[in-house]
Every structure is written in structure tokens, then in C-alpha cells.
Amino acid sequence: MKRSVVDKNLGPLVKTVMTRCIQCTRCVRFASEVAGVQDLGMLGRGSGEEIGTYVEKLMTSELSGNVIDICPVGALTSKPFAFKARNWELKGTESIDVTDAVGSNIRIDSRGPEVMRILPRLNEDINEEWISDKTRFCYDGLKRQRLNDPMIRDHDGKFKPVTWRDALAIVAEVAHGVNPDEIVGIAGQLSDAESMIALKDFLNRMGSNNVMCEGNGLNPQADIRSSFLLNSNIAGLENADLFLIVGSQPRVEAPLVNARIQKTVRATQAKVAYIGPPANFNYDHEHIGTGPQTLLDIAEGRHPFCSAILSAKKPAIIVGAGLFGRKDKDAILAAVETISKLGGVTRPAGTASTTSCSMQPKRPLLISASCRPPT
């Protein structure tokens, strides 16, 4: 008699066909060793053995979609993609993920003009063979709940669809009827460089130089290059023996960077300290403070954590970009600079400097990454 197993509900992203399962436990190992969650396990014995959750619940990891790739028999498949297309119908295009600033290597499979799925490409220095759930399933936003036609408001105050020619004629009429100083161009967080240059050239031709960008802004006098360069690469985080995370939630903002930290903590028992409001981490950490005063105490040598920084051989400092919205951002950055010099967070050439890396357009991470060169 054929063995029958009830399908599990792991959430809206992963579809289960458990009669295919051969109990290889790849998904269980991925969940515990890479994703850092204990959602999956082996239940029962003998012919009644099956993969599942100890208590019926959804899979809560931000990397859950990767079990689709590692399942060798198709017991775990993509729920949004299931039965939508065949592999031989798809054209694969190698690309880079833009949902965060990690720069994950991906392959976009399309059929005609429609994106059907997104898969990871191997790059050991950046995303290894994984991608986040946001990266894997964000293509839904290309075809659902989108405005396909331009709309204008009629005399009754209601929107009605019009052709692009009519819409652009109305925009031109309004643009030529206002003072150039009253025209402002706003670039979205996912805008490409060519589009932003075209927008800026258009505004300049209209006599305006008012250009803004969504998201957290930087001080125009700041050395942006030094603020957004890693001392090493993302893979270099695995060499760190201490992490100081300030006002950031890497599990949400940059899941693949968080996976590197989790991997390092699991392999080497690296110490993780966190300053900021309560956050959800999937590895052991010490919550040492909630505000800038803790940073100042560390910078001035009054905090017990100073001894841990001094004893660390390869420390890494991660700062959330939410500080750019604060009035005291300069003081916080100065404190981080002092701590980085105190801990010997240096460039490969040996010059002490706080460096950083944008990890997400909306809420980037600033990483002062590994590490002090060996002596």
C-alpha cells in the first residue's frame, strides 16, 4: 500500500507535497544551521516517520524559501510558482537583487514579458547559495495591485484612466504654468541611475535644481565613500570574533548578512552585543543598552563592554542607518568612530577608520567590518 502523509501548512510561500518526502532532513538542517530557527524536525519512527513541526505552526524564517531549492524530490515547492510554468518555457537572465543592498546574485526566469520566478546564483563572497524571501517572491509586485494606465482627476473629483499622450500633455501644461522654483523631482528608492539622471536633466531644462531622494539622507559634507566601504567583504564577517550592533535589526534589513553572523556565532561562539530597542535575533546576544548614552559610555571607557572590545582580535561594528534621522547623528557617529579606534577596527592597510555598508535602500546597515590585521 502506498504510504500517505498529510501535507503541512508552512505558510503562503512554501507548498508541501509530503508523500514525495524521503526524510533526507535537508530542510531540517537548513532551518537549524543556516536560518537559525527550530521550526522543522523529524517526527515518529519507522514507517510513521515524517518531517513536520512539533507544534503546528508556520515557518517563520526570513530565509524559508531556500528549502525549495535544497529539497531533492519536490516535497517542498514554491507555492506562488506552482503549476504556473514549465522550466523549458522560461528564459533565465542573470541579475543582481535590488530589494536590499547586499547585492545578492540571482537569476530571473521569465516567460515573454512576465517574470515567473527568481532563483539564487552561487556567489560565496556575497549570498553563498541563498536568497531572502523578499528577494525570491518580490516579483509579485510587478503584476498585482499595480496601476497599468495613467489616471487624472475629473471635475467630479474621481480618477479616470487616460492615454499616456493625454497624461503627458496635462503634465506639460501644468509644468509650464508654474514657477521653476516650485518644481521638485523625487527619485524612488529603487530608481536606476539612468532614470535619475534623465529626471535631473529634465528639471534643469525646466529651470529647477530641486532634486530629492526617498529614504534616509546623508550629510552632503560627509565622506560618503568612507562611510559606505567595508574593510573587507561580506564573507569577512565570518572572521570576526565580536559583533557590536547599534540600532539595527539585520535579520529584517539584511537577512543574508544576518545569516553570516548566525553562522559565525554557531561555529566560533563569537560574542554579539546589541544597543537599541528590543529586537528579534536568532542567535545568542547581549542587550547592553537602549540609547546613545551606552555608546558614549563605551567610547569613554566607562562601560563593562570595553574590556570585551579590547580583548577581541577581529571586532565588527554594525550601525543602523536610522541614526541619520536623528538630530544627534553626528555625536553618535563620532562615538562609533572612537569605539572603532579603541577596538582596532582597521582597514587592511592598517589605518583606523569606521567604515560602513548600505544593506537596504529603506533602512540600510552601516557595517564597520572585520578586522584588525594579524600582528
Distance CA 12, CA 130 (A): 19
Which cell numbers hold the place of 207? 529651470
Residues 238, 364: one domain?
Answer: yes
In a domain, 374, yes or no: no
Task: Give the lowest-confidence range in 30-39, 124-133, 364-373.
Answer: 364-373
pLDDT tier for residue 232 given thresholds of 50, 70 and 90: low
Q: Which residue has the higher pLDDT, 77 or 154?
A: 77
- Of residues 280 and 330, more confidently modeled: 280
CB 135 within 8 A of CB 106: yes
In a domain, residue 33? The reply is yes
Does the pLDDT of residue 126 top 70, yes or no?
yes
**Pick the residue with more confidence: 255 or 45?**
255
Say if 9 falls within a structural domain. Answer: no
Residue 95 cell numbers, joined? 541579475
Residue 1 lies in a domain: no
Does the pLDDT of residue 249 top 70, yes or no?
yes
Q: What is the CATH number of the domain that holds 36?
A: 3.30.70.20
Q: Which residue has the higher pLDDT, 51 or 221?
A: 51
- List pLDDT tens digits, range 338-363: 888 777 775 444 333 333 433 333 33
> Is 363 domain-assigned?
yes
Can you give the pLDDT at residue 346? 55
Looking at residue 219, its pLDDT comes to 46
**Same domain (yes/no): 356, 242:** yes
**Is residue 60 domain-resident?**
yes
Q: Do both 42 and 164 map to the same domain?
A: no
Same domain membership, residue 103 and residue 138: yes
Structural domain containing residue 189: 178-214
Measured at the CA of 132, the angle between CA 32 and CA 333, to 5 degrees, comes to 100
pLDDT, tens digit, 9 for 90 and up, residues 291-305: 888 888 888 888 888
Backbone angles phi, psi at 91, to 5 degrees: -110, 125
Query: 7 in a domain, yes or no?
Result: no
274 Cβ contact partners less than 8 Å away, ≥ 6 residues apart: 245, 246, 281, 285, 286, 287, 288
pLDDT value of position 141? 84
Contact 116, 84 (CB under 8 A): yes
pLDDT at 64 over 80: yes
Q: How far is CA 149 from CA 89, 95, 152, 155, 162, in A?
A: 28, 28, 10, 19, 7
Say if residue 230 is in the same domain as residue 325.
yes
Q: How far lies 50's CA from each of 12, 118, 170, in Å?
A: 21, 29, 63
More confident: 212 or 351: 212
Q: pLDDT tens across 103-112, in order? A: 899 999 999 9
Using the predicted structure, report yes or no on whether residue 119 has a pLDDT greater than 90.
Answer: yes
pLDDT score of 227 more than 60: no
Residues 72 and 171 in one domain: no
Q: Which amino acid is at 94?
A: E
pLDDT digits (tens, 9 = 90+) for 6-18: 888 888 999 999 8
Whether residue 185 sits in one domain with residue 74: no
Q: Tell me, yes or no, whether 192 and 71 share the same domain.
A: no
Element counts in the chain: helices (H) and strands (E): 11, 16
Residues 105 and 169 grouped into a single domain:
no
Average pLDDT estimate for 90-115:
91
- On the CB side of 349, how many CA atoms lie within 13 Å of its CA? 4
All three cell numbers of 152:
487624472
Same domain for 47 and 161, yes or no, is no
Residue type, 343: G
Give residue 230's pLDDT band: very low, low, confident or very high (50, 70, 90). Answer: low
Task: Please check whether residue 35 is in contact with residue 261, taking contact to mean a CB–CB distance below 8 angstroms.
Answer: no
pLDDT number for residue 334: 82
CATH number at 350 reads 3.40.228.10
Q: Which residue, 221, 179, 215, is CA-closest to 196?
A: 215
How many structural domains is the chain composed of? Answer: 5
Better pLDDT: 213 or 88? 88
Judgement on whether residues 293 and 307 belong to the same structural domain of the protein: yes
Q: Which of 46, 78, 110 is the last residue of a domain?
A: 78
Whether pLDDT at 209 is above 90? no
Q: Are residues 100 and 160 located together in one domain of the fold?
A: no
Q: Give the type of residue at 244.
A: L
Residue 295 counted as domain residue: yes
